Amino acid sequence: MTTTSGPAYQVVNPATGDVVETFETASDADIESAVSAATQAYASWKDVPITERGEVVKKVAALFARRADELAAIANEEMGKPVGEGVEEAEFCQAIFDYFANEGPTLAADQPIKTFSGGRAVVQKLPIGPLLGIMPWNFPFYQIARFAAPNLMLGNTIILKHAESVPRSALAVEQIMKDAGVPEGAYVNVFASHEQIETLIADPRVQGVSLTGSERAGAVVASLAGKNLKKCVLELGGSDPFVVLDSADIADVAGKAWDFRMYNAGQACNSNKRMIVMEDVYDDFVSELTSRALSIEPGSFAPLSSRAAAENLAEQVRDAVSKGATLHAGGVLSDGPDAHYSPAVLSGVTKEMRAYAEELFGPVAVVYKVGSDEEALGLANDTQYGLGGAVFSSDPARAEKIAQQLEVGMANVNTAAGEGVEIPFGGVKRSGFGRELGPLGMDEFVNKRMFFIAD
């Protein structure tokens, strides 16, 4: 019997609203088969020397590069990502798998402990077993890569539940794993229902769960993980501040702010969703953003991931405007059934508006005016989220002073975001907990076993 609670696994082209293909949700027997296969694979995969696991992981990396165009086309149809950005995403996946293949043996090496009572002590980094990954649609390949790469290197096995709207992306990654020689069961894709996710988390054979998604989904998964005494990592929403204290070239800084905000149609967790600008450069900053928004030709911008997402964003902006905010440009929702929403510039947002506290997951640049560094910092930290943040100034020391006080997991000075395979990614507060990528990416789902040998 198939359990079907929740949305169907379905490809709906957001550029047209057309239903392209529908996939069956997994049966309960399919879920049992996946867990059994992952458990059996773990028994042998964990004993393969890490350097040999690295050779398989390097083959995964090479296939992401070789199939970049194919993957980009899939993402374009499933969630609207521009093809060029899809190719970049696939190439970043190659870099992630290569990084962990190359650096993994060093990152997972035993760590000696200085002892004071004789003997020899080390901390070993050992795998823990099958893991469940629950991934989002906005970066359908990258999100998998940053979870799967370090854990495959460690010797864990992966059960992957992707977003219902990107089933072809999910299957394409599963095929890459198979073609690269990842052992059967070591990476398994499941089109699981909501109830089946609960079953998976509760299964004693599954040792941990990682979710990248909404704050609401994170709360549910964390509750289930806690109830079942499972380790979990949560990468949730964000409302990252982009603070501009001063600039000798405000057009350049505004351009960087605009480009970062519009990447992936504004659908990135760590996008600069709140631009906080000092009053003496505020007007020029807003003018530059507005000029860029007005210069966009109708029909030349990517759709959001779904009609529902576009309608929700439009309602958030309408709420702000109805309560006194200023819409300088854009903000036009298409008639449907497609998911286009024109890139917008919004200012004058106050606490009475949804846009002040809620995450705007789409192409809307929200700009706030402040009169002092202290006011800028206070506004930057006045959010339930704590993913990332950036501070810009021609005086690096001034920017660093503010950035050091940001209540975030990733603070940046004079760049929108420090990004790379070696840079840890994660947040605090209601943006979740745990880290992915970089050295910390191999430090989550691991048994940090103390090993002591007496003299």
Closest to 135 (Cα-Cα) out of 88, 84, 75: 75
C-beta of residue 195 within 8 angstroms of C-beta of residue 70: no
User: Collapsing DSSP states into helix, strand and coil, what is residue 437?
Assistant: coil
Q: What is the C-alpha to C-alpha distance for residues 401 and 418, in angstroms, rounded to an integer?
A: 17
Polymer length of the chain: 455
Q: What is the C-alpha to C-alpha distance for residues 206 and 39, in angstroms, rounded to an integer?
A: 8
Displacement of CA 291 from its chain's centroid (Å) = 30
Written as one letter, the residue type at 188 is V
The one catalytic residue among 77, 269, 288, 444: 269
**Both tokens of residue 438?**
């970089």
DSSP string, 304-371: -S-HHHHHHHHHHHHHHHHTT-EEEE--PBPSSSS--B--EEEE---TTSHHHHS---SSEEEEEEES
Closest to 410 (Cα-Cα) out of 422, 402, 418, 401: 418
Q: What is the C-alpha to C-alpha distance for residues 156 and 167, in angstroms, rounded to an integer?
A: 23
CA 427 → CA 153, 234, 241, distances in Å?
A: 24, 9, 13
* CB count in 10 Å sphere of residue 428: 14
Angle value at C-alpha 66, between 303 and 74, nearest 5 degrees: 25
Per the annotation, the verdict on 93 as an active-site residue is no
On the 0-12 / 13-18 / 19+ scale of CB atoms within 10 A, 230 is: buried
The one catalytic residue among 77, 78, 103, 235: 235
DSSP letter, residue 263: G
Sign, Cα dihedral of 429, 431, 434, 435 = negative
Catalytic residues: 235, 269
